[in-house]
Amino acid sequence: MMNSAVITPSSQAKIGLDVEALRAQFPALQQNINGKPLVYLDNAATTQKPLAVIETVDQFYRHDNANIHRGVHTLSGRATDLYEAARERVRLSLNGGHTDEIVFVRGVTEAINLVASSFGQSLKAGDEIVISALEHHANIVPWHLLRERIGIVIKVIPVTPIGEIDLSTLPGLITARTRLIAVNHVSNALGTINPVQEICRIAREHDIPTLIDGAQGLPHGPVDVQAIGCDFYALSGHKAFGPSGIGALYARRPWLGKLPPYHGGGDMIETVSFETITYAPPPAKFEAGTPNIEGAIGLGAALTWLAELDHAALAAHEAALLAAATESLGAIPGLKIIGQARHKAPVVSFVLDGIHPHDVGTLLDAQGIAVRTGQHCAMPILQQLGVASGTVRASFCFYNTFDEVEALARAVHRAQTMLS
């Protein structure tokens, strides 16, 4: 589970994490941008890829490329085996109970749309979905689509001024019409680590299923869906060192059997005539058409690579990076950190007095530093916190260094001086 303990930079040596050796596995980190060494601090948008992933995808195309589940020939058998092994790897990384609980999708956005569409077919006008004020648009818009289509009601768990979900309000939001509670594991905009286990416990007491948006969860520590106690957990491969356009939906076993398919097409049926149809058992029932085969295999490679690392050391290093960045940036006059939850992933969102975040981002890029600026697909929470025009977000990963934290603070200070 995620560890947000504050650890000082000097304890890095005790943990023995060799950040330089880790960085050497990421070719994209070894380059100059605008004449300066790249400082990549946009990890919440997407992570860089280790050689283990790049080489696995390359190997697949060079040696094993074929369509899956269809051919009797050797290559198709090999591709199918690799694809299904990746599914088992996802199960293992999430500690799911069964491999057939894992559906490959394009990412969290598609996973949530799948649930909204399939689970949504059982909903009626006036039924309620509870989300939080901290959600990414991927966990807001699919529920709007259902609201527009059938008239469901979206209820929102409020968030405190420091960016924490106000859990005490949840029981009061639950009614006899509540059909699902859907929240993110970690906020991409502020870094808040949400009490998902507790939310799922409260939901279970009321017999309400839960969906966790895990886009920002898996990259920062092992996830255990059984310990969390959720019904659905969504992840995106590209946020966890895997390829883009691949992700997974974990659905506790009873669900996939009873939910209707999301897409229709090849590979998801047992029999088809012009009069009748029977569907393949899950997860195939939800994977119509040729999937992102190399993406799934690359995701499997990313999760295998990740599983071999020392998670306590990674979490400690990320916590120390967060502490150092909070301190260095927080010391800049006129800089305000947005989101100061007690439990945070290594994300620092901030604004500078009187300066537009895009201008800061542009000047940081000129100094080789990649950050995200804007609303981070989370307009409602930024609006609530009074920063509707956005923030600058530095999101760290265990391959970042303390020198990079200092480079960021210096560059922000320089940008502030130039723009004031």
To ligand PLP, the closest distance from the beta carbon of 110 in angstroms equals: 7
CA distance 297 to 61: 11
Binds ligand PLP (CB under 6 A): choice among 82, 108, 337, 382? 108
Binds ligand PLP (CB under 6 A): choice among 22, 79, 138, 385? 138
**373-402 burial: b if 16+ Cβ within 10 Å, else e:** bbbbbbbbbbeebebeebbbbbbbbbbbbb
**78-97 burial: b if 16+ Cβ within 10 Å, else e:** bbbebbeebbebbbebbebe
In this chain, which stretch among 33-41, 49-57, 106-114, 362-370 interacts with ligand PLP, using CB under 6 A? 106-114
To ligand PLP, the closest distance from the beta carbon of 191 in angstroms equals: 11
| Cα dihedral 330/336/338/342 (nearest 10) | 40
377 has catalytic annotation: yes
| Cα dihedral 50/54/60/62 (nearest 10) | -140
Cβ–Cβ under 8 Å, residues 41 and 370: yes
Contact between 107 and ligand PLP by CB under 6 A: the answer reads yes
Q: Which of 200, 230, 377, 397 is catalytic?
A: 377
Name the phi and psi angles at 219, rounded to 5: -65, -15
To ligand PLP, the closest distance from the beta carbon of 217 in angstroms equals: 9
Give the residue with the Cβ less far from ligand PLP, 86 or 108.
108
Single-letter amino acid code for the residue at 46: T
- Provide CB contacts within 8 A for 58, sequence distance 6+: none
Contact between 128 and ligand PLP by CB under 6 A: the answer reads no
Contact between 216 and ligand PLP by CB under 6 A: the answer reads yes
To ligand PLP, the closest distance from the beta carbon of 104 in angstroms equals: 13
Contact between 159 and ligand PLP by CB under 6 A: the answer reads no
CA distance 56 to 154: 42
Cα→Cα distances 314→5, 184, 205, 321, Å:
12, 22, 34, 11
How many residues touch ligand PLP under the rule CB under 6 A: the total is 12
Binds ligand PLP (CB under 6 A): choice among 4, 48, 117, 236? 236
In this chain, which stretch among 101-109, 287-295, 328-336, 382-390 interacts with ligand PLP, using CB under 6 A? 101-109
Hey, how many other C-beta atoms are within 10 angstroms of the C-beta on 358?
Answer: 13
In this chain, which stretch among 30-38, 162-170, 210-218, 364-372 interacts with ligand PLP, using CB under 6 A? 210-218
Contact between 136 and ligand PLP by CB under 6 A: the answer reads yes
Active site residues per annotation: 377
What is the binding site for ligand PLP (CB under 6 A)?
107-109, 136, 138, 184, 188, 213, 215-216, 236, 377
